[in-house]
Each structure stands twice: as C-alpha cells, then as structure tokens.
Amino acid sequence: DAGVTQSPTHLIKTRGQHVTLRCSPISGHKSVSWYQQVLGQGPQFIFQYYEKEERGRGNFPDRFSARQFPNYSSELNVNALLLGDSALYLCASSFSREQFFGPGTRLTVL
C-alpha cells in the first residue's frame, strides 16, 4: 500500500519567488495537514483540510495558502519567499486521530 507521497523531494528557490508543494494522502484518508519543521524544532502546524474545506490554520502569514482537491490530494503554496521559509515541509494524512506523514519536501531559499 502506498503511503503519503510528496513532491518534489528537494527544491531550491530565491527570495521573492513562489513555490507549490504537492501531497497525495493514503488511499481512503480524507484529511490532509501541512507542517513546517525547521532544524532543531518539532513540526509546526500550518493547515488542515478535510473534504476540501479548511479546518484549521496555524500561526503563519497570508503568504502561505493551501487547497485540497476532489481526490483529496493537496497543494501548499508559499508566495514571496523569505530566507526563513527554508525548512522541511511535511504533509500528513489521517482517517481518525493518528496522522501519517510523507517524506517531506526540503525547501531551501537563497
């Protein structure tokens, strides 16, 4: 069975650019959450989507946006990239209370 998949695995951008990260949940999971993890910290919650609706938003600026598609896959968009946006971006899917994570996308902003 395929787990949570994310693309791309690595990405290098420059300040001011925008980026789109993609996530496909485990088959049957309708909820997708996005987290940002910087080195030495635990993951920080960005968004949660369920059945294509936003169910939660963390303390991130409006430059961060997301959406969920009818097939439950999801995209995370970040505009006007800053150096501080460099991090591992994790996507998690869930059916109940356990969340299962993908391998993450490593974003480097130069």
Partner 1 sequence: DQQVKQNSPSLSVQEGRISILNCDYTNSMFDYFLWYKKYPAEGPTFLISISSIKDKNEDGRFTVFLNKSAKHLSLHIVPSQPGDSAVYFCAASGRNAGNNRKLIWGLGTSLAVNP
Give the shortest CB-17-to-partner 1 separation in angstroms: 23
Nearer to partner 1, 38 or 83 (CB): 38
Query: Is position 35 an interface residue for partner 1 (rule: CB under 8 A)?
Result: yes
What distances in angstroms separate CA 88 from CA 18, 71, 95, one per listed residue? Answer: 16, 24, 23
Nearest CA to 13 out of 57, 47, 63, 56 is that of 63
Give the shortest CB-83-to-partner 1 separation in angstroms: 20
Candidates 14-22, 63-71, 72-80, 84-92; binding stretch for partner 1 (CB under 8 A): 84-92
Give the shortest CB-49-to-partner 1 separation in angstroms: 9
Out of 24, 36, 48, 68, the only residue in the binding site for partner 1 (CB under 8 A) is 48
Contacts with partner 1, residue ranges (CB under 8 A): 4, 6, 33, 35, 40-45, 48, 50, 55-56, 58, 88, 90, 92, 94, 97-104, 106
